[in-house]
Amino acid sequence: MAIRPSKLIRRFLERRLRHLSSDTRGSAAVETAMLLIPFLTIMFAMLETGYMYLVAVMIEGATAEAARQIRTGVVQVSGSPIGAFRQILCDNMYGVVSCDDLQVDVRSFAQFGGAGGPAMGGAGANAFAPGNAGDIVVVRVAYKVEFATPFLADILAAGGGDGSRLLISSSAFRNEPFGEQG
């Protein structure tokens, strides 16, 4: 009885494929390799989002403290008002963000109706006019956060397309009568 070669090959392949389908050695390594990239991407996205919110909260707190010093007149009576303001701002950032990367816009107005001003990041950035006693003052501090996680930059970036988001903290108030003695 002669067996045809095609039948021998078919039997051999069936046996080998049956053997390969039941072999599980190395499956954990393959599964880990398949899941590692999505897992790390999600982890980095979580870390970057948390960092962005940390910076946002720190900028809010630093802006509120620096604005308070303008409102009470501490900044205006110092030898270098912009230097004193930036020092207060930087001290409250605790080294998380470089103070050189912060954009500052402080403007004073006679009444609340005119207290608009240009958008941050434009020609109005780094203006400083803290006003006198009784003036309306608008303080804005901005910081540009850049993302490294690819899809996160697309999701959270504010239309700039450069993979960054501008965080802005604002405070509007009327200066106290710090120049008048009761």
What is 73-114 written as a DSSP string?
TTTTTSSSHHHHHHHHHHHTTTTSS-GGG-EEEEEEESSGGG
In the 8-state DSSP scheme, what is residue 123?
Answer: T
In the 8-state DSSP scheme, what is residue 147?
Answer: -
pLDDT at 72: 93
Q: How many CA atoms lie within 13 A of 140 on its CB side?
A: 20
Within 10 angstroms of residue 109's Cβ, the number of other Cβ atoms is 18
3-class DSSP state of 14: helix
pLDDT over 50 at 82, yes or no: yes
As a whole-number percent, the residues of the chain with pLDDT over 90 amount to 45
pLDDT over 80 at 156, yes or no: no
Q: What is the mean pLDDT of the chain?
A: 84
pLDDT at 179: 64
Give Cα 3 distance to the centre of its chain. Answer: 73
pLDDT at 59: 96
pLDDT over 90 at 103, yes or no: yes
Can you give the pTM of this predicted structure?
Answer: 0.74
pLDDT at 63: 96
Which residues are registered as beta bridge partners of 108? 137
pLDDT at 28: 80
Q: How far apart (Å, rounded) are the C-alpha atoms in residues 34 and 14?
A: 28
Q: How far apart (Å, rounded) are the C-alpha atoms in residues 85 and 82?
A: 5
**Residue 143 host element (H or E):** strand 136-146
Mean pLDDT over residues 77-94, rounded? 93
pLDDT at 9: 82
pLDDT over 50 at 22, yes or no: yes
Q: How far apart (Å, rounded) are the C-alpha atoms in residues 127 and 135?
A: 16
pLDDT over 80 at 5, yes or no: no
